[in-house]
């Protein structure tokens, strides 16, 4: 069944103006930004070491082996299970795919990294299911996936207060739980996740969990969008929001049977190309959204991000600091996109004030709903005089603490920045003291490889302090003997 086409943009205004005292326009993005960008990372080849190095650099302001932390809102994805038998090496010391960081151990109900992953999900460092697990097999006609595995895992995370709204497809045809693109081309016909007659049916379970956004394994070369969303009609009768990701470039190739050549850009070594100055300036100029597909932990190098990737990410952070591009985790970008695109509001005159009253979101996929404050983060209106403007939701005035004003805008505050370092370095299967020692030694080793001068300086200072301490102790000891 073909996936749904994009809804045509509405020709009707989303506001109803009654005796308004000033012109009110819905701004494209939260003030002062002109564009919004998410980096959507698939969890392939992820292990705890690489995940921690990357997200400590991306999400915190700490000094890290990759450089001073950027404090960006970038979230990752995760696997619940590992049912793969591929021989891939995933880290620089020869670790195999069997050591991939998953919630449960292999395809059992035994926790592996579950407690750590729950911590990262609740901290906002993870916001996406990368399918139910890594089930890629060397024989694509075999799979270890079952509906019961999905049911157990989803119930477990829900029981621990986790509701994830984003799901991305993964891997080869052994990942039969994929869904959303069945019938688009012959390759995608293996997808069974939305087939109610299949033993691999899971879309109903994901709906109960709260998943409302799906990347259905569709490659895409378009970078900038006015909306990332498109509706998908599933085979079980439900609809779900699909979203686009920039996965690579396509060029004409008359020698190919397809008529074009495709180049993937979703390896972290390609981040500099994805975040090129020309692409970002175009995004800013035309007020667009983009979601960049990548595999942040996809390489087996000591330093998981290249110098060019680090420089590109640092430049992106500067553009956010300059008020040009707002970097948001995928779930936040998609929710903002949905609410902004289908928001309905009234503008009225109330005394000498202008009231902007949020009425509802006319969601054509999941149905109309009245948005909560948490769903209105960032919604911003251009007005002449924000100090003479009131925001309300269905007549209920919004508290000042939830309102952001500038000289000519008023809106709902964006999410507060959170650069807390929540890294956990030890494998839960290791004794904690041993893991902490190994973690410390690993950090020292990485810092030595990056900047041995700092290590020598810190080491020299440490031994100098020890030397001074011993002299003081000796002097005190002699003084006591004389007495």
> Residue 407 has which token pair?
């000289």
Question: Any idea what DSSP says for residue 329?
Answer: -
> Residue 105 has which token pair?
């151990």
Confidence (pTM): 0.86
Residues 229-261 as b or e (16 or more Cβ within 10 Å = b): bbebbbbbebebbbbbbbbbebeeeeeeeeeee
* Residue 426: per-residue pLDDT: 74
> For helices 307-321 and 277-285, what crossing angle results, to 10°?
20
- Pure H helices in 63-134: 114-123
| CA 474 distance to own-chain centroid | 56
- Low-confidence residues of the chain, pLDDT below 70? 1-21, 251-260, 427-451, 454-455, 459, 479-483
* Residue 11: per-residue pLDDT: 33
Q: Where are the beta strands (DSSP E) in 388-483?
A: 389-393, 396-397, 403-405, 409-412
* Residue 461: per-residue pLDDT: 74
Contact criterion met (CB below 8 Å) for 320 and 275: no
Instruction: State the Cα angle at 231 between 370 and 165, rounded to 5°.
Output: 60
> Residue 291 has which token pair?
């979601």
Instruction: State the Cα angle at 445 between 442 and 446, rounded to 5°.
Output: 85
| Length of the chain, in residues | 483
Distance from C-alpha of 130 to C-alpha of 112, rounded to nearest angstrom: 17
State phi, psi for 472 to the nearest 5 degrees.
-60, -45
């Amino acid at each position: 069944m073909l996936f749904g086409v994009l809804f045509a943009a509405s020709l009707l205004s989303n506001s109803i103006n009654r005796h308004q005292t000033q012109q009110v326009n819905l701004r494209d993005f939260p003030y002062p930004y002109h564009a919004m960008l998410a980096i959507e990372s698939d969890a392939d080849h992820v292990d705890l070491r690489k995940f921690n190095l990357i997200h400590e650099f991306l999400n915190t302001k700490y000094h890290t082996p990759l450089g001073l932390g950027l404090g960006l809102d970038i979230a990752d994805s995760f696997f619940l299970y590992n049912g793969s038998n591929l021989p891939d090496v995933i880290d620089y010391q020869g670790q195999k795919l069997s050591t991939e960081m998953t919630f449960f151990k292999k395809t059992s109900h035994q926790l592996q990294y579950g407690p750590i992953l729950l911590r990262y999900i609740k901290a906002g460092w993870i916001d996406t299911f990368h399918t139910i697990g890594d089930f890629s097999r060397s024989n694509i006609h075999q799979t270890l996936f079952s509906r019961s595995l999905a049911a157990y895992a989803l119930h477990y995370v829900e029981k621990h207060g986790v509701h994830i709204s984003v799901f991305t497809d993964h891997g080869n045809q052994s990942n039969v739980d994929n869904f959303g693109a069945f019938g688009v081309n012959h390759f995608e016909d293996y997808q069974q996740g939305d087939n109610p007659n299949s033993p691999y049916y899971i879309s109903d379970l994901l709906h109960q969990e709260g998943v409302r956004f799906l990347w259905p394994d569709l490659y895409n070369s378009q970078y900038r969008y006015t909306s990332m969303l498109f509706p998908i009609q599933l085979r079980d009768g439900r609809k779900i929001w699909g979203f686009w990701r920039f996965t690579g470039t396509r060029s004409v190739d008359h020698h190919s049977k397809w008529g074009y050549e495709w180049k993937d850009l979703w390896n972290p070594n390609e981040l500099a190309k994805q975040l090129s100055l020309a692409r970002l300036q175009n995004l800013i100029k035309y007020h667009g959204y983009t979601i960049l597909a990548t595999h942040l932990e996809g390489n087996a190098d000591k330093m998981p991000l290249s110098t060019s990737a680090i420089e590109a990410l640092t430049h992106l952070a500067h553009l956010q600091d300059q008020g040009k591009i707002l970097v948001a985790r995928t779930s936040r970008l998609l929710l903002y996109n949905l609410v902004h695109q289908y928001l309905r509001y009234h503008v009225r005159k109330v005394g000498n004030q202008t009231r902007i009253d949020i009425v509802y979101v006319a969601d054509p996929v999941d149905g109309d709903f009245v948005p909560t404050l948490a769903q209105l983060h960032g919604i911003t209106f251009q007005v002449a005089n924000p100090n003479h403007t009131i925001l309300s939701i269905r007549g209920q005035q919004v508290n000042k603490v939830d309102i952001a004003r500038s000289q000519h805008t008023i809106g709902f505050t964006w999410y507060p920045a959170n650069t807390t370092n929540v890294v956990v370095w030890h494998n839960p299967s290791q004794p904690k003291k041993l893991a902490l020692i190994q973690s410390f030694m690993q950090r020292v080793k990485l810092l030595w490889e990056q900047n041995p001068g700092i290590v020598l300086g810190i080491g020299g200072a440490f031994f100098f302090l020890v030397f001074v301490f011993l002299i003081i102790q000796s002097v005190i000891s002699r003084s006591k003997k004389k007495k």
